């Protein structure tokens, strides 16, 4: 997997929606790539915080994921 693939899988990963094979590739990449693992960490923290705010919401708010996702895409593109 490349960083672009990680970005594409992030929302599904956070919603535990990846199949086993994709998830293992995903996790392999995270172990090798400091940038993506830092990104996931940030994203999990963001979702954790927004879950606290919207505590009645059961699933991770897709809007939050999408917002972070676009910020990150811009970030990646400018490197
Ligand atoms: Zn990466």
pLDDT in tens, 19-74: 999 999 999 999 999 989 988 888 888 877 776 665 555 555 667 777 777 777 66
C-alpha 30 – ligand 1 centre gap (Å): 6
What pLDDT is attached to residue 65? 72
Give ion ligand 1 contacts, CB < 5 A.
Answer: 3, 33, 36
For the chain, the domains span: 3-77
CA–CA distance, 56 with 54 (Å, rounded to integer) = 6
Rounded to whole angstroms, the Cα distance separating 23 from 10 reads 10
Structure confidence at residue 59 (pLDDT): 58
Q: Does residue 12 carry a pLDDT above 60?
A: yes
State how far the Cα of 6 lies from the Cα of 26, in Å rounded to an integer.
6
Please, how many CA atoms are within 13 Å of residue 48, restricted to the half-sphere of its CB? Answer: 6
CA of residue 6 to ligand 1 center, whole Å: 7
> Does pLDDT of 16 surpass 80?
yes
Whole-number Å distance, alpha carbon 7 to ligand 1 midpoint, is: 9
DSSP 31-62: HH-HHHHHHHHHHHHHHHHHHHHTTT--S--H
């Amino acid at each position: 997997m490349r960083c672009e693939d990680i970005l594409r899988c992030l929302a599904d990963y956070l919603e535990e929606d990846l199949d086993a094979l994709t998830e293992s590739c995903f996790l392999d990449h995270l172990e090798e790539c400091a940038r993506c693992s830092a990104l996931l960490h940030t994203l999990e923290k963001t979702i954790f915080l927004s879950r606290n705010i919207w505590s009645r919401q059961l699933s991770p708010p897709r809007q939050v994921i999408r917002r972070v996702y676009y910020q990150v895409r811009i970030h990646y593109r400018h490197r």
